[in-house]
Structure formats: C-alpha cells, structure tokens
Amino acid sequence: MHVYYRVYGLQLKANLEIPGLKSCEPVKEAVDVDVTMGRFPEKIVHLINQEASPYYLEPGFEEKEPPHVVVTILSGGKYYYFNYDGTAQFVCDRQATVVWGNWQEPFVLEDAALYLLGPILGFMLRLRGVTCLHASSVVVDGGALAITGQSGTGKSTLASALAAEGYPVLTDDILPLMFDQGHVYALPGYPRIRLYPNTFQNIPDLPDDLPLLTPNWDKCFLDLDSGFYSFVNEPVPLRGVYLLDWSDDNTAVPEICPVKSTAAVPLLAANTYRNELLDMEMKKQEFYFLSRLVSYSFLRKVKPVDDIAELHKLVEIIFNDFIE
C-alpha cells in the first residue's frame, strides 16, 4: 500500500505514513515525488559505494567535530546523496521525482521525517526550479503574510503568535512561491509550527506544554489541525514579506521600516531556503524570479525588541501595516 500527501505544492506517494503530514486522496494521476523511507534499493547502495563527486560540505557545529552534512553527486550527476552525521542518509534524482531515505540508531522515523520535510524536499523544489523563501507565513484578509529572516530570529515564534490571534497558518520554515496568471502565490507546507519550549512557554496565548517533534530533540510542535488553530492547504496570493532584523541593539520599541525595491532583491536572495546548495544555473533562475517578485509584493524590515512581553505589540504593528 502507498500513502499520498500534498505538501509544498507537490503530490507525494510514500511507502509509509510520514509524521507531520496528513494523508489525502491523490488529486491527479501523475505523482510528483515518489518517497521510499527506511531502505535504499540495491542499485543506490551500489552507487553510494562507488566513487562520488563532492558537491557540498557543512562543517560540524564545533571546531573539531566532523561535518554535519556531506552532499555528493552519484552516477555522473544522476543523483544527489545527503549524509547527515552518519545517522540519516537520503538520495534524490536530479529530476526531483524520487527520493529514498534511511537512518540509524538513535534516530527514528520522526527524526528522518524532519530532514525529509525540510532540507531534502526544499532542495528538490529548487531542482524543480521553485524559489523558496526561508520563511513562515500566515493568511490575513485573503493574502499571504510572509515572515523571513536568518535561523533563530523568531520566524516561527511570530507565526505562532499570529496563529494564537486566530490567523490561519500557511507554512513554517519553507515558503515555496510561484507565478500564475499575473499573480505570485505562496504554497502551503504542512500543519505544524516548530518551537523551542523556552519560546512557547513565554507566550500567554499558547499552551504551556506541547509534544516533542522527536525523542532525540527538545524542539516541540504546535499542531495546527487541533483546537483553536487553523491551517490553509491551498495556494494564497503573496502580498508582503517581513524581514526580521536584529542588527540594531538599541531598538526601544518594535519598528517597521520600508525597503526600496533596489535593495529588496539582494535581501530576499539572502533569505531563500538553503541557498548554499544552489548551483550557478539555479542562482540565475532565483535572481530572475526575485526580480519579478518585488514588482508584485512588498518587503519590509522589522526591528523587534528582545522582550517577549512586546510580542503582542509587534503582532499588532505588523497587522496594521499589512492591511493598509
């Protein structure tokens, strides 16, 4: 039996249930990505054991640690092989139509699913020519409000605060974009927001206790399919992007600053998803897409205050700016 899912605008067919995703009936005959978790076919094992070409290396978190991720090219460019700390491995084809995933203890399926739904599918979208912002997004007045910024700047925290205010969530962390009939659309992810305990436990409108994403990580998730929260599973026109900027330590109150169109493209390019994995042709496609994007939606810089008590005020000023 196979399980079908819709995520990031893709129809997946998987060999088992993937944590975090909600199964659905296939909406079209053709499958975008065929997912096999828990094993590699013999031909892929054989290719992994052959000589590979280096593609990307991410250093370990500490100076003397081994690389966190090593990406190599197999079979003369037909496949990409991702090896995460020797505990999770994935192989996808260059056409981004098939992916295999495997893992070793102490990892479990939930750990492997985080990689699949994050950097692996994120990279496969890029292979398909889809530009993705490193962003969370909620829907306000029928338009997508995107929140971008570097890792750790508070994208998910702000999205969860907006969710607690009653705004439907479109995605967390990966925001795929596409043009269609003269509009730019933001595509949905899956119904979870990932949060650290010291984040959601300080937001009054969120629960004091959330389930762990995996037994091997202290990060939790807000289930958008339960209770008060809501999740949008259809593309939504993108109206604006808010870039979280912590460069000014002297900000006394939250501020929103306009960004000129000439500065918007490089700022957006610095905040696309896993852009370090793009080859030269992908970077050219991305730059062209972002150059068009700034004609269809606006970009603002947001200067937050390092005080969780000011989060409600930040939500309010972003909302007021967005609906003007």
pLDDT digits (tens, 9 = 90+) for 143-152: 999 999 999 8
Least confident stretch, 165-174, 226-235, 274-283: 226-235
87, with CB counted inside 10 A (0-12, 13-18, 19+), is middle
Domain extents in the chain: 3-127, 132-323
Nearest Cα to Cα of residue 224 among 174, 167, 176: 167
Examine residue 106 and say whether the peptide bond preceding it is cis (omega within 30 degrees of 0).
yes
What is the spatial distance between Cα 108 and Cα 310, in angstroms, rounded to a whole number? 38
Angle subtended by helix axes 261-269 and 280-293, to nearest 10: 140
What is the spatial distance between Cα 257 and Cα 255, in angstroms, rounded to a whole number? 7
Tokens of 61: 């978190």
DSSP letter, residue 257:
E
pLDDT of residue 112: 98
CB atoms closer than 10 angstroms to residue 294: 19
Query: What mean pLDDT value characterizes the chain?
Result: 93
Nearest Cα to Cα of residue 148 among 126, 123, 174, 125: 174
Nearest Cα to Cα of residue 267 among 238, 298, 236: 298
Taking residues 97-123, what's their average pLDDT?
97
In the chain, pLDDT over 70 holds for what percent of residues? Answer: 99
Q: Are 158 and 314 within 8 A, CB to CB?
A: yes
Least confident stretch, 38-42, 150-154, 178-182, 225-229: 225-229
pLDDT of residue 107: 96
pLDDT of residue 197: 85
pLDDT digits (tens, 9 = 90+) for 58-86: 988 777 788 899 999 999 999 999 999 88
In the chain, pLDDT over 90 holds for what percent of residues? Answer: 78
Tracing tokens 């998910």 back to the chain, one arrives at 156
Taking residues 7-25, what's their average pLDDT?
96
Angle subtended by helix axes 155-164 and 311-323, to nearest 10: 80
What is the spatial distance between Cα 172 and Cα 229, in angstroms, rounded to a whole number? 14
pLDDT digits (tens, 9 = 90+) for 191-245: 999 998 877 777 777 888 899 999 999 999 999 998 789 999 999 999 999 999 9
CA-CA-CA-CA dihedral for 112, 114, 120, 121, to nearest 10: 120
User: C-alpha angle with apex 144: 225 to 125, nearest 5 degrees?
Assistant: 80
pLDDT of residue 43: 96
pLDDT of residue 180: 92
Q: Is the pLDDT of residue 324 over 90?
A: no
pLDDT digits (tens, 9 = 90+) for 241-275: 999 998 877 777 889 999 998 899 999 999 999 99
Which CATH number is 132-323 given?
A: 3.40.50
Taking residues 283-296, what's their average pLDDT?
95
Contacts of 166 (CB under 8 A, 6+ apart): 228, 230
